[in-house]
Structure 1
Amino acid sequence: MKTKIIPVAADNEKDVITLQKIATKSFTAMFGPYHEPQAVKAYTDEAYALTILRTELSNPESRTYFLKLDGRPIGYMKLNWRAAQTDQLFDNAMQLQRIYLLPEYWDQHLGSQLMEKALDEARQTGVATVWLGVWEHNERARHFYERYGFKKAGTHTFTIGSDQQTDFWYARSMMPAD
C-alpha cells in the first residue's frame, strides 16, 4: 500500500467531481445514521455542490488535499487561513475545516497522514494555533484529535436539516512549550 497526499486542483474537473463524491459519501456515512436522510442529502447537495467546491478550491487562503492510496483518492482535508476560516476564533490561526476518509478506510490509521500534513502546513505558515470543529458525539474523531494535542476550546451549533447539534471547537497551540 502506497499513500500520497496531493493538492486538489480547482481547474481539473475530474478532481472536483472526485472531491464531491468523497465528501458526499464520507459525510453521509458519518452523519446519515443520526439524521433524516433527506436532511443529510440536502446538506451535501448544498455544501458539496460543484460550484461551491470550485469556489473553495480557488480561494488562495484555502488548500485542499487528496489522500491517495495506490493512486486512488480515498480521503481529503481542507485547510483555511485568514478570511477563509469559517469563524475568526483565534489570532494567527489555521482552521482544519474538513478531514474525511471514505468509510471503508476508517480505523486503518490513514487519517494520521492527513493530520501530519495539516500540522506541517501549520508549521510552514507560522500559525500560532490550529483549530477545528468536531461533533460532540463523534468519539472516534475526538479521540483522534486529542492524540494530536487538540483540546476543547468552546462549542457552536451545527445544523443539519432541522436538527441543531453541538460541535466542539478543538484547538492546538503550535507554539513551542516553555
Structure 2
Amino acid sequence: MNVTVDNIRLRRATPADTAVLADISARSFTETFGDSYPPQDLADFLRDTYSHQAIAALLNDPSYAAWLLERDGVAVGHALAGSCGLPHAEVAAGDGELKRLYVLREAQNGGWGARMFEAVLEWLQRDGPRTLWIGVWSENYGAQRFYGRYGFEKVGAYEFVVGDTRDHEFILRRDARSAPSPA
C-alpha cells in the first residue's frame, strides 16, 4: 500500500531503505522514550536494536514488513510487523504482531498513524484472519485507546528491557474472529 497526499507519502520499505529505517527507528524511539533511560543503556539499546545489520535482517526476512512515512522525501515515521514474539502463553504459530509504530511529533495529528496502522493490518491479514498482538507501554494511554478502537484488548503484561530499566508493558490481542473497523 503506497499512499501520497500533498507532500506526505506512506510506502512499504525495501532492503534499499536499511539506512533510512535504521535512522528513523532510532530517532523516533529516542524522541518518544529517550529521557526514560540512562544514556549508556539507551545508546546500547539503539546500537543493538536499530543497527544497519539488525534492520537489514528484518527487511530481508519475508515474515516481516516495514513501512516508511515520508514528508518531502524525509522519513518522519515508520511501522514494522511480523510473526508474534510476545511472551504470552496463548501466542500460536501463525499469529501476527505490530512490532513498532512511530510518527515523529512534527508529523503527528494528521491521521497518518492510523493510515500506517491500517496498512500493517492489511498486510498481517493478507492470507485471511488471524490473531494479532501488540505490546504497548503501560502508561501510553493514547495508544491503548487507539488500539482499542480496532478491537485490541489487554490480555497480559511483560517487561520491556532497556539496560537496567524494566518498563511495564501491556500485551494486547485481537482474536482472529473479531476484526472491527475503528469508529
Question: Under a length normalisation based on structure 2, what TM-score does the superposition of the two structures give?
Answer: 0.84
2:147 corresponding residue in structure 1 = 145
Q: Is the counterpart of residue 8 in structure 1 residue 20 in structure 2?
A: no
Mean Cα deviation higher: 23-32 or 120-129: 120-129
The 2-side partners of 1:126 and 1:87 are apart by 21
1:107 paired with 2:114, answer no
1:132 to 108, 131, 134: 134
Aligned pairs, number = 171
2:86, 2:171 within 8 Å by CA — same for their partners in 1? no
- Give the % identical residues: 27
* Structure 1, unpaired ranges of 5+: none
2:94 maps to what in 1? 92
TM-score, with structure 1 as normaliser? 0.86
- Alpha-carbon shift at residue 108 of structure 1 (Å): 3.2
Match of 1:36 in 2: 38
The counterpart of 1:56, out of the listed 34, 55, 58, is 58
2: CA distance, partners of 1:151 / 1:176 = 11
- Structure 1 residue 90 displacement after superposition: 3.3
Contact 2:81 2:124 in 1 (8 A): no
CA distance, structure 2, for counterparts of residue 2 and residue 111 of structure 1: 16
Q: Which runs of 5+ in 2 are unaligned?
A: 1-5
Deviations 1:115-158 (A, max 9, x none): 11112123322142111101111222222211222110111111
- Structure 2: how far apart are the matches of 1:161 and 1:103? 25
Distance in 1 between residues matched to 2:64 and 2:12, nearest whole Å: 11
Aligned partner of 2:3 in structure 1 is none
Q: Cα offset for 1:4?
A: 3.1
Retained in 2: the 8 A contact 1:94–1:122? Answer: yes
Q: Distance in 2 between matches of 1:157 and 1:104?
A: 29
State the match for 2:19 in structure 1: 17
CA distance in 2, matches of 1:30, 1:72: 18
Kept in 2: contact 1:94–1:127 (CA 8 A): no
User: What is the rounded CA distance, in whole Å, between the counterparts of 1:108 and 1:37 in structure 2?
Assistant: 31
Deviations 1:73-95 (A, max 9, x none): 221111103xxx32472343111
Q: Which amino acid aligns with 1:25?
A: R
